[in-house]
Structure 1
């Protein structure tokens, strides 16, 4: 079977390999897989994806050129060097970068499966989960969505399914009469409310054997249910524990299933994500999406305010659609991608204000997104705006700025740009580098305060923060100026602090700021 390169890339996904260059586009047909090492001299590789084994970095140059010369459609290399990328471009062959820990034989199997079926055959899905849970619990398992549609079920292996299970699997959905009975008993309400294990006794009059069930959730968002029916033998003693673990594993599967966009959209997102972390060349992205290589761009990062990882991932997938709509209204050529639990948009054609400031329309776009997210989903979304950079090639730097803004956002602020928080961000970067350096003056002040309940470090910090103005520092501490003067003299005695030395003042202020930051940082 002939399959486009794009289909193979989507099936493999970022965990296995990512695109580096595709000089002939993403519709290049693949018809086979070939494994080549540096000493091979193959004769016909037409239409093949060539896996270059035994050569990384610049060592892959010769096999890549050889593969292209013999008609390969694409080559896959581990840790390809820039020279290999250039060789692939010059040879007109697509280049894939394979993760170093991926086994070549496993990659060959995956690609062959995609070529034969056109589908992703990575193991470990819901069917495998159902089978595992059935084996561990000793029961018959079905995994259902919130509409009671059967998504996966375990094999019976000789155990007798009851009438409910038989009808559910045959119809791929629970019988309406029984579903109504469960609703009247409040079972669905309990399953939607928490991860509580719900026990249902045997009902011979309804043809129903004993069951246990638990809801699948992403945060407070219900995704479905796992049911375990008792077979010919009682459920194992560990069935409840197995079920609790299973719903948490299933949550990740269902979040991923809900969040996966259409194949073309996913490939576009993968390419944009590769641009933002420097893996994909800017000229490839510019050509693919019609963006000039010298057009100024800015990257904005959006993050949902949730502590639950699964909920954040699900929210990110939903947020991506919201961001895409608003970003497209702002710029027709805006690009959007999702990386882990963050949504990024790259906005081309944005001109920086004087001093590098972000234009007001970009801030307005971010506020529209955060406001729409709050009103539509009740979710708080925060946005960090990177610096406007000269072109797509510099997008990784703008993305880094956007991430740093998110990390430095004050608790009561939802939208900010790098220019708003640059001083704080740079100070945090400087303070982080001081973590491995000791300052005896600051250490002595902190030790004295910890031992005696004094406030010498706080007093010195206040004075330095107020540029040596004793009256202003005392007012900030709500103490009398004479009290502050006494503390400063005490600090000199305890720690040997010399406030007349500019270098000593700066170092002490930085180290005291570092201690204050570390003690107030969220755990």
Structure 2
């Protein structure tokens, strides 16, 4: 039986960081995440909606897929703040459930099969009870996230990283084989920075500079105090110093760009350490979930816009990053590499622009970078920001260096509103598909790949409509399959090169006369008139369609 409703002060925003992850997915939040959450109740399949379901998270057990539609609508109409339903991979009813939740104004959570209902209920009730009984605990940050952030920053800078809170207490640090100085050793062992070094920092005005904004402070070495050179950045929010991040130099100088990486790490650390007004928990994971939801077209832009502090009508650019795995291991090691890559991308995104946010989705990494300037006239052509393209190139170079594996990125054309982000993501995916055949190419923009992207779309439409084809070219396909020849490739190369026999022959590593013979033979087999521009165009499209079909 459900417990009685109570005014706990909790909201869906409190709940999201604790629940949302690999096993629970936020599918819809039509009224945002600031809706009050009174309690958590379990609803049996045949149970009628109750008055005390109002404002609750209702767990619909015993139903899934299309079977959850009726109780979902009933719970929404009874005033439920959110409904959780069991979902599975490829669930065809998912979009229907999401639309129903939006119409009811009810948030919708999808619970994977691997998650047990009792676990979900226990965790949700813990969050609600914590906010109700001890609001000050609701804003606790996750040390695990800070340790991971410190390790990523250490890898990017080549230094030794420590994170301290506002009382100079060490709360997270990186593992390192680099020699640490006496200050670092004592800070970790004693959980606080030695007083003599603190006094020296205060005398030098370091803390005053750290409170003043986002400056990265270069702190000179103090051999007399056992301290090597450091870079420091304040973790600030609303003019308040929440803590500091320190990067100690080891036996070798810090890497180029360490200051920029440190600035991004400080911004991410602030998201981990602060609570949303009202005492919400860690924001960084929630931002990523909201970003993934927007990219996938599951969530309205208002939720993410509120988190980023921008208007929903703000324009944005989407960047897609592809990590081409060279390792066959698909286990924990591969997942760890992907997680580390995601952290690096998030750190660099935060360093580039405070409102930029990264998310993992369907095996790729994406960055959504809202416009830094006010929204422009949506009717005017929008082109990629050279600064953002340059930043993307730097990101790819960094990832390739640290991950030791090919990385490619695509910069979609800017879109005028956050609501258009899903279309921008699709465009970025198409650009990645275009450059995937050229591993040496690190970054491409829509302007770079516009013709190839449009052509790819046309070929995709032809593949979806197999009845639209030129049967004459089927003879070439049969000939290649029977004799192991390269008639299709030779003809396509010839058409692409405007009949430049020598260039195509060199590329195919054959004699020009061999290519001439193949072209004559192709004309005989198909009856194509190569002097007819329309027949040439159809042949080029058909041969591309056939090639893509063979490759897939």
- The root-mean-square deviation of aligned C-alpha atoms, in Å, is 3.9
Equivalent residue, structure 2, for 1:292: 311
Cα gap change, 1:463 to 1:413, in 2 (>3 Å): closer
Equivalent residue, structure 2, for 1:257: none
Equivalent residue, structure 1, for 2:416: 390
Equivalent residue, structure 1, for 2:299: 280
Equivalent residue, structure 1, for 2:365: 343
Whole-angstrom CA distance in 2 between matches of 1:12 and 1:480:
61
- Is the aligned partner of 1:369 residue 2:395? yes
Equivalent residue, structure 2, for 1:427: 455
Whole-angstrom CA distance in 2 between matches of 1:413 and 1:391:
29
Query: Deviation of residue 394 (structure 1)?
Result: 0.7
SS in 2 for 1:291: coil
Equivalent residue, structure 2, for 1:418: 446
- 1:197-208 to structure 2, matched below 5 A, reads none
Query: Deviation of residue 349 (structure 1)?
Result: 0.7
- 1:237-316 to structure 2, matched below 5 A, reads 263-307=282-326, 308-310=329-331, 311-316=333-338
Whole-angstrom CA distance in 2 between matches of 1:49 and 1:74:
5
Whole-angstrom CA distance in 2 between matches of 1:350 and 1:372:
24
Equivalent residue, structure 2, for 1:329: 351
> What do residues 215-251 of structure 1 show as CA deviations (whole Å, max 9, x unaligned)?
xxxxxxxxxxxxxxxxxxxxxxxxxxxxxxxxxxxxx
Whole-angstrom CA distance in 2 between matches of 1:480 and 1:19:
59
Cα gap change, 1:281 to 1:56, in 2 (>3 Å): farther
Aligned 8 A contact 1:33 1:108 in 2: no
SS in 2 for 1:389: coil
Q: Which protein has greater RCO, CA pairs closer than 8 Å, 6+ apart? A: 2
- 1:19-418 to structure 2, matched below 5 A, reads 19-21=27-29, 23=31, 25-26=33-34, 28-35=36-43, 40-45=48-53, 48-51=56-59, 56=68, 60-66=72-78, 68=79, 72-76=80-84, 79-82=96-99, 84-88=101-105, 94-98=106-110, 108-115=117-124, 117=126, 263-307=282-326, 308-310=329-331, 311-349=333-371, 356-409=382-435, 410-418=438-446
Whole-angstrom CA distance in 2 between matches of 1:17 and 1:477:
50
TM-score (norm 1): 0.60
Cα gap change, 1:503 to 1:297, in 2 (>3 Å): same
> What do residues 359-391 of structure 1 show as CA deviations (whole Å, max 9, x unaligned)?
111111112212222344444432121221111
Query: Deviation of residue 35 (structure 1)?
Result: 1.4
- Is the aligned partner of 1:5 residue 2:17? no
Equivalent residue, structure 2, for 1:185: none
Cα gap change, 1:56 to 1:422, in 2 (>3 Å): farther
SS in 1 for 2:53: coil
Unmatched 5+ stretches in structure 1: 89-93, 120-260
Cα gap change, 1:373 to 1:470, in 2 (>3 Å): closer
Whole-angstrom CA distance in 2 between matches of 1:76 and 1:330:
36
More displaced, 22-31 or 107-116?
22-31
Aligned length: 368
Q: Which residue of 479, 484, 509 maps to 1:448?
A: 479
Unmatched 5+ stretches in structure 2: 1-5, 86-93, 129-271, 273-280
Cα gap change, 1:505 to 1:58, in 2 (>3 Å): farther
Equivalent residue, structure 2, for 1:170: none
Aligned 8 A contact 2:27 2:110 in 1: no
Cα gap change, 1:432 to 1:319, in 2 (>3 Å): same
Aligned 8 A contact 1:366 1:383 in 2: yes
SS in 2 for 1:364: helix
Whole-angstrom CA distance in 2 between matches of 1:375 and 1:468:
42
Whole-angstrom CA distance in 2 between matches of 1:462 and 1:379:
31
Larger radius of gyration: 1
More displaced, 347-356 or 383-392?
347-356
